[in-house]
Amino acid sequence: MSRIAGPGSSKILFPLVIVVLVFAFTPISQVLLRTVDGSFAPSPYSSLALKAPSDGSSGVVSGKPVSVLLTNRTGRAKTYHWSATQKGALISLGEETLDNGRTTTILIPSRGAVTGVLRIGVTGTKIFITVPILKS
């Protein structure tokens, strides 16, 4: 029976080690990253934006809905509870469930809002936008 060890085997051994390392890269790297609590994945976030950014300067007439875009990039489906307030007083509220990576348009009712600033925010976060409300 021929010997495995010897000068000839080293020529095969090293390419073999490299091939194994390259093809097993994904599971190995995942284990290592988990071990050190590290990641290169994008950090999760959500965002809220005026659908028409110019509304920020031109304003929205009281009673008309405010179109906002809600985006979910948290890595999982999430239910968002939003509210629109004016000087602390609740104008409207609702909830929206979004899959990861999706953006949806929410029409925020502004009935009951008076001339001033409407604050639309996601409950439990620091995410909020503001929009000027004009007299109808």
Tell whether residue 79 is a contact of other proteins (CB under 8 A): no
* Residue 17 DSSP SS3: helix
Minimum distance, C-beta of residue 89 to other proteins, in the bound complex (Å): 18
Report which residue type is found at 102. Answer: R
Q: How many of the other CB atoms lie within 10 Å of CB of 97?
A: 11
Q: Kindly tell me which residue out of 8, 12, 39, 105 binds other proteins, with binding defined by CB under 8 A.
A: 39
Closest CA to 45 of 74, 84, 79: 74
Range 101-114 burial, b when 16+ CB lie within 10 A, else e: eeeeebebebeebe
Q: Kindly tell me which residue out of 1, 6, 37, 79 binds other proteins, with binding defined by CB under 8 A.
A: 37
Q: How many residues does the chain have?
A: 136
Which residues on neighbouring strands pair with residue 95, listed in sequence order?
81
Minimum distance, C-beta of residue 108 to other proteins, in the bound complex (Å): 14
The smaller minimum CB distance to other proteins, of residues 1 and 33, is found at 33
Tell whether residue 55 is a contact of other proteins (CB under 8 A): yes
By the criterion CB under 8 A, which residues form the site for other proteins?
Answer: 10-11, 14, 17-19, 22-23, 25-26, 32-33, 36-40, 42-50, 53-57, 71, 73, 117, 125-132
